[in-house]
Homo-oligomer: A and B are copies of this chain.
Amino acid sequence: MTRPANLKMVAQEAGVAVTTVARVLSGKGYVAEDTRDRVMKAVEATGYRVNSIAQSLKTSRSTIIGHLLRSTVPNPFFVKVARGVEDYAKTMGYTVLTANVQDAAEAERQAIDTFLNWRAAALIFSTPVSAENVEYAIRARVPVVQVERPRAALGHRITVKNRDGALAAMRHLTELGHRRIAYVGEAPGSQQNDLADYVERERFDAWREAVTALGTYDDALVRFGMAYQIDLTSAQGHGYQATRELLSLPKRPTAILASNDILAAGALQAIHEAGLRVPDDMSVIGFDDTLAEYLTPLLTSVRLPARRLGQAAARLVIADLEAESPGPAQELALDAEFMPRLSTAAPR
Contact = CB atoms under 8 A, between A and B. Distances in A.
A119 B53 contact: yes
A223 B6 CA distance: 54
Nearest to A79: B72
Given A83-B72, A118-B53, A60 B296 contact: no
Nearest to A86: B100
A167 interface: no
A50 to B, nearest CB: 5
A76 B141 CA distance: 35
A57 interface: yes
- Range for the number of chain A residues in contact with chain B: 35 or more
Given A4-B119, A49-B117, A73-B76, 5 more contacts: A51-B57, A73-B79, A74-B76, A95-B118, A97-B97
A53 to B, nearest CB: 5
Interface stretch (A193-201, A203-211, A264-272, A327-335): A264-272
10 contacts: A1-B141, A49-B116, A52-B118, A54-B57, A57-B57, A72-B83, A74-B76, A265-B294, A294-B295, A295-B295
A114 B86 CA distance: 13
A270 to B, nearest CB: 9
Contacts of A62: 53
A293 B86 CA distance: 29
A297 B273 CA distance: 8
A116 B117 CA distance: 20
A12 interface: no
B235 A298 contact: yes
A51 B82 CA distance: 26
B117 A50 contact: yes
Nearest to A110: B90
Copies of chain A in the complex: 2
A174 interface: no
Contacts of A295: 265, 294-296
Interface string A150-164: 000000000000000
A131 to B, nearest CB: 21
Give me the 10 closest cross-chain CB pairs, A-B, nearest first: A233-B293, A265-B294, A52-B117, A268-B296, A52-B118, A272-B296, A269-B296, A72-B79, A98-B98, A53-B57
A36 interface: no
Interface string A236-280: 000000000000000000000000001001001100110000000
A113 interface: yes
B52 A119 contact: yes
Nearest to A2: B141
Contacts of A60: 3
B117 A265 contact: no
Contacts of A76: 73-74, 76, 79
Nearest to A265: B294
